[in-house]
């Protein structure tokens, strides 16, 4: 026996249960079509909702920034200072989202790890949707606050938990995903806000899958529900619809100021790189100029989902371009994904622990980059594999 034998055994266990992650290698730019493991395939996997990951305007902004300003930020912002590119992006994001202020982080994951422990601590309580993203859960744990999960998207359960737990604690925080990434359903944010207001509790929403997707021209979930000024803090990411990388925290100016003082990934980790910042700013420009890409994304999503339902597939609770194809057991979902890949369709199976046991699925990510012909090719492959494995 060696010290690492247990890891090998765990890995074998994952393989036997059909839960082992095989990571494919991409040899082309992002887009509707990819070269994956040397094979040309139609891409239904990425979060590149608007096709911006290799958009010429973003590429050229990144190139220009690196030529003029270099690449790396060289140290954390609180020690070595911050570039005008970073502060300019933050001002632009705040204006785009209609909030008092915004701050960027290295990723959406880091934004959650920064924000939650800065707002609550050991004497406090967090009310967290049961299906919140892993980075919210980790941020909650890191804070040391008591974590009370309420039933998914259930405002009644939220209120019951508040009544049972709030008075024993100093401060409270309600936190929810905006769009739930595995099911594509949307948090009932207007009702959650009513509860937050009634009990005077800080409200935080993680809009990673809503940024660039929901609201007018992709301004996010707060805009979608017309809740401007009512949600204390919004987390976002520039790694999905924005096509780049980087986290956003947007909201009340005092919270953003506090994160510059107490957000640990701000204080102890270097900032986004300059080409990334410039590319993100170019993405904001595109979204402010035109709603064409966002409109196209929603048109594609509506068409694909409608046709999948007509074929007899179960697309679950989705209200967004995230389209889960519910299959049940993980090995079936993995087989489905392999058969699709053979036919030139890249769509990943998702199983436990990313989704609950018995709720394995293929998750199709629709993009504005898909043409109608691409979507029809995908639909045809789903029809053939679905019939072959007896799902439809």
Ligand X SMILES: *Cc1c(COP(=O)(O)O)cnc(C)c1O
> 247 and 58 in contact (C-beta within 8 Å)?
no
> Residue 318, interface with ligand X (CB under 6 A)?
no
**Active-site residue, selected from the candidate residues 224, 240, 359, 370:** 240
Contact 324, 361 (CB under 8 A): yes
Which single residue is written with the structure tokens 């790694």? 239
Q: Which is nearer to ligand X, 245 or 327 (CB)?
A: 245
Count of beta carbons in the 10 Å neighbourhood of residue 83: 19
Beta strands in 151-201 (DSSP E): 172-177
Q: Is 206 in the site for ligand X (CB under 6 A)?
A: yes
Instruction: Rounding to the nearest 10 degrees, give the CA dihedral for residues 68, 290, 102, 83.
Output: 0
Among the candidate windows 103-111, 144-152, 156-164, 281-289, which touches ligand X by CB under 6 A?
Answer: 103-111
HSE-up of 162 (CA within 13 Å, CB side)? 22
Span interacting with ligand X, options 11-19, 94-102, 105-113, 119-127, rule CB under 6 A: 105-113
Q: Are 251 and 231 in contact (CB under 8 A)?
A: yes
Q: Which of 195, 208, 221, 222 binds ligand X (CB under 6 A)?
A: 208
Closest CA to 367 of 267, 271, 297: 297
Maximum Cα interatomic distance, the chain, rounded to a whole number of Å:
62
Q: Is residue 382 a contact residue for ligand X (CB under 6 A)?
A: no
Least distance (Å) between residue 39 CB and ligand X: 26
CB closer to ligand X out of 313 and 323: 323
Of 208 and 391, the one with the shorter C-beta distance to ligand X is 208
Burial (CB count within 10 angstroms: exposed 0-12, middle 13-18, buried 19+), residue 365:
buried
Q: Which residues contact 387 (CB under 8 A, 6 or more apart)?
A: none
Q: Report which of 175, 206, 168 is spatially closest to residue 192, judged by C-alpha positions.
A: 175
Residues 239-268 interacting with ligand X (rule: CB under 6 A):
239, 247
Active site residue 135: no
Of residues 115-174, those binding ligand X (CB under 6 A): 133, 135
Residue nearer to ligand X on the CB measure, 43 or 237:
237
Per-residue binder mask for ligand X (CB under 6 A), 223-242, x = binder: --------------x-x---
Query: Rounded to the nearest whole angstrom, what is the least distance from the CB of residue 197 to ligand X in the complex?
Result: 23
- Which of 135, 181, 337, 367 is an active site residue? 181
The verdict on whether 198 is a catalytic residue reads: no
Tell me how far apart the alpha carbons of residues 98 and 141 are, in angstroms, rounded to a whole number: 30
Q: Looking at beta carbons only, is 206 or 223 nearer to ligand X?
A: 206
276 binds ligand X (CB under 6 A): no
Segment interacting with ligand X, rule: CB under 6 A, options 32-40, 102-110, 301-309, 339-347: 102-110
For 368, how many CA atoms within 13 A lie in the half-sphere containing its CB? 23
CA angle (310, 312, 317) in 5-degree steps: 90
> Which region among 202-210, 225-233, 253-261, 370-378 touches ligand X (by CB under 6 A)?
202-210
Least Å from the CB of residue 186 to ligand X: 12
- Write the DSSP symbol of residue 166: G
Query: Under the criterion CB under 6 A, does residue 209 sit at the interface with ligand X?
Result: yes
User: Which stretch of DSSP H or E encloses residue 49?
Assistant: none
Mark whether 78 is an active-site residue: no
User: Could you tell me the smallest distance in angstroms from the CB atom of residue 179 to ligand X?
Assistant: 8
Residue linked to tokens 């990313």: 354
Which residues are bridge partners to 345 per DSSP?
42
Residue closer to ligand X, measured from CB, 134 or 190 = 134
Q: By Cβ distance, which residue is nearest to ligand X?
A: 108
- Binding residues for ligand X, total number by CB under 6 A: 13
Cβ proximity to ligand X: between 1 and 23 the closer is 23
Known catalytic residues are 181, 209, 240
Contacting positions for ligand X (CB under 6 A): 107-109, 133, 135, 177, 181, 206, 208-209, 237, 239, 247
């Amino acid at each position: 026996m060696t010290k690492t034998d247990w890891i090998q055994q765990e890995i074998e266990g994952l393989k036997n249960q059909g839960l082992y992650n095989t990571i494919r290698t991409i040899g082309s730019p992002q887009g509707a079509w990819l070269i994956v493991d040397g094979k040309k395939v139609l891409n239904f996997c990425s979060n590149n909702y608007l096709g911006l990951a290799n958009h010429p305007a973003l590429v050229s902004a990144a190139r220009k920034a690196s030529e003029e300003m270099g690449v790396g930020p060289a140290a954390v912002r609180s020690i070595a200072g911050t570039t005008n590119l970073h502060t300019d992006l933050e001002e632009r994001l705040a204006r785009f989202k209609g909030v008092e202020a915004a701050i960027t982080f290295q990723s959406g994951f880091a934004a959650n790890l920064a924000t939650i422990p800065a707002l609550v601590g050991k004497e406090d309580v967090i009310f967290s949707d049961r299906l919140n993203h892993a980075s919210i859960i980790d941020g909650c744990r890191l804070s040391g606050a008591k974590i009370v999960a309420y039933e998914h998207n259930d405002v009644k359960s939220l209120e019951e938990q508040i009544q049972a737990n709030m008075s024993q604690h100093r401060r409270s925080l309600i936190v929810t995903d905006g769009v739930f990434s595995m099911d594509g359903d949307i948090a009932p944010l207007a009702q959650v806000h009513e509860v937050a207001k009634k009990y005077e509790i800080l409200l935080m929403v993680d809009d990673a899958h809503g940024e660039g997707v929901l609201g007018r021209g992709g301004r996010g979930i707060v805009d979608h529900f017309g809740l401007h000024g009512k949600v204390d803090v919004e987390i976002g990411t520039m790694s999905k619809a924005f096509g780049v990388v980087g986290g956003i925290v947007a909201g009340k100016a005092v919270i953003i100021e506090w994160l510059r003082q107490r957000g640990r990934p701000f204080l102890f980790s270097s900032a986004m790189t300059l080409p990334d910042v410039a590319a993100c700013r170019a993405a904001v420009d595109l979204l402010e100029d035109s709603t064409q890409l966002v409109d196209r994304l929603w048109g594609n999503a509506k068409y694909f989902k409608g046709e999948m339902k007509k074929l007899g597939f179960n697309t679950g609770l989705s209200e967004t371009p995230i389209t889960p194809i519910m299959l049940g057991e993980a090995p079936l979902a993995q087989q489905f994904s392999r058969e699709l890949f053979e036919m030139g369709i890249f769509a990943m199976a998702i199983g436990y622990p990313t989704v609950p046991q018995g709720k394995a699925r293929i998750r199709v990510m629709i993009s504005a980059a898909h043409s109608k012909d691409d979507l029809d090719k995908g639909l045809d492959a789903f029809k053939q594999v679905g019939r072959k494995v007896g799902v439809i």
